[in-house]
Each structure stands twice: as C-alpha cells, then as structure tokens.
Amino acid sequence: MHRVDAFGNSPGVCRKLIEGIEGLSGWHKRVHQKKTETRQKIVDGSRKACRDSDDAVGSHRKFARRFVEGIRKLAGNAKGDRRKEDRRTCRKIAGVCGTGKLLVSGGWTARTTESKRRPAADGE
C-alpha cells in the first residue's frame, strides 16, 4: 500500500504553493493600482463637488454676511433710538406736568416740575 499525506501529494502541493506565491506579487500590484485609482477618483470627485458647492454656497455666504451686517445696524440703532425715545418721553411728561428745570446726570437729561413733589430723576 502506498502512503497518502493528509495534504495530498507533497511535490504537487509545493508546486501549487510556489505558483500561488509567485502570483501574489502580481496580485498585490493589481490591488495597489486599483486602490490608487479609487483614491484618485474620490479626490477628484470631492474637488469637483467643492467647486460646484462654492457656486451654490457663495450666495449663501453673501446672504449671511449681509444678514449679520443688518443685525449689527439694527442693534446699533436700537441703542440710539431708545435713548432718543427716553428723552422724548421725559420731555413730554415734563411738558404735560408744567415746565421745570433741567437736571443733567451722566449724559441723561431729566425735568422736574416746579411743585414740591419728588424729582423725576435724582441729579444731585
């Protein structure tokens, strides 16, 4: 009886392994080339997508910049408007109650009436 190895004929197995190992270098080159091509496609695609999105996003950026400028103007005007409105209101109240003397305190002007009542704003 002849002896049978568990892995088959040793010279045949060795030959197949040698062929497989020799083929690995070519396989490795093909895989490497495919990976390189895929990476290049991704990079080129993302660059193109960025260029295309700049066109679309450009108008959004312009809108956002104008929006922020508008908000700044509104915020700046609101402070001045409030001051003017407070002064106008104070003058109207003083005008209705009668003419009074002016008190200046920290840039604010308040009027008090000539009567013996408490002043509208402490100035001294």
- What does the pLDDT look like over 73-84, one tens digit per residue? 776 655 555 666
Per-residue pLDDT tens digits for 66-116: 887 877 777 665 555 566 666 777 676 666 555 555 555 555 555 555 555
Q: Is 119 left (phi over 0), alpha (psi -120 to 50) or beta?
A: beta
Is 41 inside a domain boundary?
A: yes
The number of beta carbons lying within 10 Å of the beta carbon of residue 112 is 19
Burial of 122 (0-12, 13-18, 19+ CB in 10 A): exposed
State how many domains the chain has: 1
Q: Please report which helix (H) or strand (E) contains residue 31, including its range.
A: helix 10-97
Distance, in Å, from the CA atom of 83 to the CA atom of 76, rounded to the nearest integer, reads 12
| Structural domain boundaries, residue 30 | 10-84
